[in-house]
Structure 1
């Protein structure tokens, strides 16, 4: 076979046709791939450049001798159906269009190499069908090896991701089981705390209050008692006061941090205040405190025991922080506002320096006064309880002249 530019290729203008043919032959030989002209009628290559020997190990003459058997000889058997389909598609290629296909070939020495062919129409028959196409085949074995390696890396990565995902799912399931177990434990603790709060509020508070009332009643008879009994009574009174104070602190903290409040109902402010005053009988008697009430709103929607605790604590604080030598005067008022009911407790006690002690008034275990002693929990607990139902507690005060605490409740708050 003569290796020359196809006769139908228009040669570039020049001094002679021989020089032009030599130019095209030289150009074909320096291209790093197999340039070929394929005839669709004979299903064979009419032209290949000499690079075919370097790439496939066959000479141009050997390729020509193969004729229509070239594809069956050079193309790997499992890739032949794909090549035949590709050639069939080329017969419908439009003008100026290109097509590309990747396949494997077996060299003359038996080595398998990957090639990529890029083709376009060279000549058509009278009816427009493709008669010949021209193309170039490039060895892409190294590129395909890299792509295969990348695919393997991606597959390995995906497998690692799947394994890691499965591990995370397992850990999440274990965490969910642990969280459920921990939640159950916390629910048990919560129930225990609620039981403790109930016991402290009901089962312990009544006997402690009774003990306090008894010691205070006996104190009124001190002038009739022997000195040694007076001393013993003083100890009993101190122990009773300490127990009551510690119990109040325990109740306050437990209620402030416990779960949902008990069922709400209409609370008669006058009746609940009277009960709080009974519990404070000794403090009121000892200090000769005057407590007055004026409830323009006679009832609020709340938990009766909680309201009793709040009012008893607020009145007790007003008595505790009275000015020595000044008779405590305390007034409880209730009034209706557009979006809430206000219960205020006013006193003429020592007052508060709010710019200085604002962060201590409602802080846990914080106290704005150094004397008398206290746990520093009641106002914190009251604020927490009120916040849980959408209420609040505010204070205005003047040092040495007294304080005014305002409890603001929604018209019908709901327990949380």
Structure 2
């Protein structure tokens, strides 16, 4: 074989380029027909006849184009399509349904061109029809999916409204119940104090029982006060407008209001708000969040160790991050992570507390449109990161 022989192409047989125009017309992938100005059919291709299920002699010179349309399509074609065809000489992509011999419907897009004679009189209408059965099914599926999505959205909206109403009712119930219980419990505490003052106990175990009763009474009072605080704080946040809060001065004010730990080293606070000096939030809600996080950092400090607490701000994914970090006892998140923000959950029984603070912080942050991430290691400290909208 000589060099370059593999590049030679066979001689082109020009007969391959010859096309039978009648065959192209008859077996085109779309339907063709021609009709007189009154709609009388005079020519149809084989494709259209297959769609309709008719023989050619059943339609040519026997039926009109309008008769192949459904009732609604016929009215539209006569009232809209024909006048438009006479006015501008063509119509483009009008959606109709053809009625087959068996009564079935074939959705199509109709295009038509009006040809005139030398005097301008209508001569013949050439019609092209495209089968859009698959497209119609796709559109119907889209409409069905959209309707289902709308129904689900409406159901979710209704459920959300119901949950909001239930939460409001629960908050009202909790507030009313805690308010109504407070006075009887205080009366009980007063009666018990009078009982302790006036009664004489001869059983050596009595002192322990009295102490246990007193502790249980204080726990009950703490629970009632905690419930009241939770509901009251949420109501205040809902009513208070969001405002621009200068974090440096605001946090310093919160720190000054913290109770001092008797007999423990003084805490060292590090404040860094250089990245985000101002936070847009309701002042009462922010005050409660910072107070609870900072007071917890002091309350759960390592015994005998200097508490070091850092409060910082930063930006992350178009949100403001307010972080509170301490070097305290830490929390075993592997064991207690799922319960961290539950109401009345406490993880250091030897430290006095109501188990309300973190629950309240979490609720207030979520009401403000944010979320909380927590990292902690037992004996090393805890960091709370509050992601808040700008």
Normalising by structure 1, we get a TM-score of 0.39
Higher-Rg structure is 1
Normalising by structure 2, we get a TM-score of 0.42
